[in-house]
Structure 1
Amino acid sequence: MKWNEHTTGQRIKLLRGAVTQEELAEGTGLSIATIRKAEQDRGQISLPTLLRLAHVLGSDISVIVGQQAPRRAMLADDRTTLRELSRTVHDTAAGIGTDREPVDFADDLAAGWDAYRAGCIGVAGQLAASCVRDAATALADATEDRRRTARGPLADAYRLSAYVANQLGARDLAYAAIGHSADQARQGRDPVREASVASGRSWIYLRDARLDDAEHTAKSSYTSIEPTYGDRDPVRLATYGWHVTFAAVVAARQGNTAAAEELLSQGFAVAARLGRDVMVNGTAFGPASVTAQAVGIAVSTGKAGKALRLAGSVDDWSSLHQAAQNRLQLDIALAQCTTGQYDTCLDTLLTVCEAHPEWVRHQTLPGVIAQRAGHATTSRSRKIAKIIGATLA
């Protein structure tokens, strides 16, 4: 029987293994009644509950809802990309394959980040592999006085590799690549880049359900570059604002609503100081981006009505890169589903799925939303299920 042919309750039982229901309840902080109800497929499972279950079961939400198997089934192209990326990351870290003629790869690295932010994970992975190789070659060829500068692009290429690997579910490669990125950023003595790498590591921890590690690392990413009261540098302000806002996301996933609200208020304060969305390394931070994160936090903490009000407070989301806009639409769809607007929810979800199918395949929320609202309109549910590769119970 295929993994996605099991019910959600059956998948929880299989993932639980020898752990008793009582032990699972204690570990998640949920009641025995909630665990039994989930395993008996009685009613819908809320996102906060799924997050707690994923954390204790050491799994992704997408595995619990059947969007992917415990060992992710990938398309052939994804496997090829991942294999090449893995070989390149490990070889260059060992100094292998860098005895070539250096080439200019700046445009390719920028294109790789653009592809990643547009949700084109396969293209991003292919460009990341070539850029890691080219950046490692440039570092090996650099004179002593230029080596520190050359470490920055290599750190960025390794970080892009880590993000691609994380999206493809290759957690070991993601950890290795982000570790190499951290090493290069540290040797390059670039505190802003180090903060970005730390935030990236926190995101990997988050997807790996290591919430305590994610929270600790996210905190280190923003405290290391906290601006002074008189600091007016927009790049530093935007970088700090982005990282403190992501730390709010992590705190919300931990169930620490008070900490999430405090961190989010800092993010809004920085956005107000900027007055506009500022682009830093291809990622925007400002009023629109912090509001988008606030929508996600409101959804994950069970405040769907607030999420929809926040989403309606911004008229123009165009400063967000495409993947961020997609994620916002998923959060809106989940909030619509939670408030019983099932047809509207499926309209929102189907729009994202049809416009950006490759990006959606690597996300957790579409399966969660489709499971909860799938009964509303059969034709739309079938279309969504086909795109995300899930069987909707």
Structure 2
Amino acid sequence: MPTIGENLARIRRALPLTQEQLAENAGISVETIRKLERNERTSARMETLHRIARALHVPTTALIGDASSAAARAEPTQRPLALLELRRVLMPARGLAGHRPAGPQPDQPPTLDAVRAELRRVDQTYHRNDYAATITALPGLLTAARTAAGEADDTHREQAYALVARAHHLTGNLLIQLRAGDLAYAALTAALDAAERSGDQVISATVLQGMTWLLLRQGRLREAEDVAVSAADAIEPRFSRARPDDLAAWGWLLMSAAAAAARDNRPDDASTMIDSAAAAAVRIGERHPDGAHLMMVSGFDRQRVEMQRVETAAVAGEPGRVLELAGDVRGGTAVTSSWHRHLLDVAWAHAEMGQHADATEVLSGIKRSAPAWLRQQRYARDIVETIARPRRRAMSTELTELASLVGAEA
């Protein structure tokens, strides 16, 4: 799908108009036109697009294109266009008597194997922190999964709805990262509905873990804890015969509840929940979840539990304790985003103790491996501002680049 800038350049050249002429006719700066056409910006305010469209004598919708990179780069003008296609799928327009505008329909229903393969591909793209590509791929994945579920026979219906749930859960996780909270709630609600239709307890529990993450982001601490604890109580496994899948799903819920309790200034309750999660991780040992659940509950192990202890110490404002605990944590088996989140706690602790060079080094390491992920983290912005605030000399190039990436005031 072409970007806004590509659509703009094609229409402008066909008239023909120079960039300067178009800028003058639209009443906007020529620099805006240039940045759009060079894809330095892949979104713009609707008012700006409307002015350009008037000057080009075309409908505004003729300019709208792929703005996924705008969301991935957290451009200030990226909403609402950056997530337009996802909004169409998750929140379709409705009219009288349930009327919905017709959308593109596949020539034939996708097979469950095809949906499963595409889900695996998009999940890998997400975990590589390629948010722009993930945003672009998700609308098609969601549509395919829903279509396959609608066409599935009785034998395969539960499998189909499990795929619908997993696709919507992945979508919700991405939207939380992008801080599109209301849209994430729509995705996770749809995921939970589909999970219940699948009859798969592990998938339902994992979707609820995503919901608690969203509630935490919204400051709804008690609700987040209640959702996680209630679900954990409902699925609590018998350790003597529990599968790794069940233990991991239960452990993730307990760690979500612990994160909420820590932020509610109840570190002792958080510690108790983490201890229980640690027991589940020990019981899993070297075993792995089965293939059907691997994407949903992967990454839960003893190292991940210890990262949660580090996070709890950071939330409690104990930088020395953070560095003490972090010394025993290794990231070899951790999901990449979890490891990077742990490193932010380490960077915070260094910054709080005045070890600014160490904090900058940790942040720069994250920047090198996951710049798209780091750009979305307000926590990183706060740490950079803490480092930069007391400086009396000009910032280093390294720190300046970090401040620019995360939008810090320095």
The TM-score range, normalised by the shorter chain, is 0.7 to 0.9
Instruction: Tell me whether 1:372 sits opposite 2:386 in the alignment.
Output: yes
Cross-structure match for 1:86: 87
SS in 1 for 2:235: coil
Letter in structure 2 aligned against 1:383: E
Match of 1:350 among 350, 353, 364: 364
Identify the structure with bigger relative contact order (alpha carbons < 8 Å, sequence gap 6+): 1
Letter in structure 2 aligned against 1:378: M
Distance 2:354 2:109 in 1: 57
SS in 2 for 1:319: coil
Distance 2:334 2:232 in 1: 21
1:278–1:284: 8 Å Cα contact kept in structure 2?
no
Cross-structure match for 1:329: 343
Deviation at 1:76, TM superposition (A): 6.9
Instruction: Tell me whether 1:388 sits opposite 2:406 in the alignment.
Output: yes
Q: 1:354 to 1:292 in 2, by over 3 A?
A: same
Equivalent residues, number: 320
Cross-structure match for 2:158: 148
Instruction: Tell me whether 1:245 sits opposite 2:255 in the alignment.
Output: yes
Cross-structure match for 1:218: 228
CA displacement, residues 41-79 of structure 1 (integer Å, 9 cap, x when unaligned): xxxxxxxxxxxxxxxxxxxxxxxxxxxxxxx96367786
SS in 2 for 1:143: coil
| Structure 2 spans left out of the alignment, 5+ residues | 1-72
Distance 2:273 2:282 in 1: 14
Cross-structure match for 1:289: 304
SS in 1 for 2:299: strand
Match of 1:313 among 321, 328, 344: 328
Match of 1:268 among 261, 278, 301: 278
Deviation at 1:204, TM superposition (A): 0.8
Distance 2:247 2:350 in 1: 33
| Structure 1 spans left out of the alignment, 5+ residues | 1-71
RMSD: 2.4
Percent identical among aligned pairs is: 28
Letter in structure 1 aligned against 2:302: P
What is the TM-score with the length of structure 1 in the denominator?
A: 0.75
SS in 2 for 1:385: helix
SS in 2 for 1:119: coil
Distance 1:105 1:182 in 2: 19
2:212–2:228: 8 Å Cα contact kept in structure 1?
yes
CA displacement, residues 239-268 of structure 1 (integer Å, 9 cap, x when unaligned): 211221221111111111111010011111
Q: 1:92 to 1:182 in 2, by over 3 A?
A: farther
SS in 1 for 2:155: helix
Q: Which residues in structure 2 correspond to 1:1-393 (within 5 Å)?
A: 74=75, 80-91=81-92, 97=103, 100=106, 101-103=108-110, 104-276=114-286, 278=288, 280-282=293-295, 283-314=298-329, 316-374=330-388, 375-376=390-391, 378-379=395-396, 380-392=398-410
**Which shifted more, 267-276 or 96-105?**
96-105
Distance 2:131 2:228 in 1: 24
What is the TM-score with the length of structure 2 in the denominator?
A: 0.72
Q: 1:148 to 1:278 in 2, by over 3 A?
A: closer
CA displacement, residues 147-195 of structure 1 (integer Å, 9 cap, x when unaligned): 2221000011111111222222222211111111111111111111111
SS in 2 for 1:302: coil
Cross-structure match for 1:9: none
Deviation at 1:114, TM superposition (A): 2.0
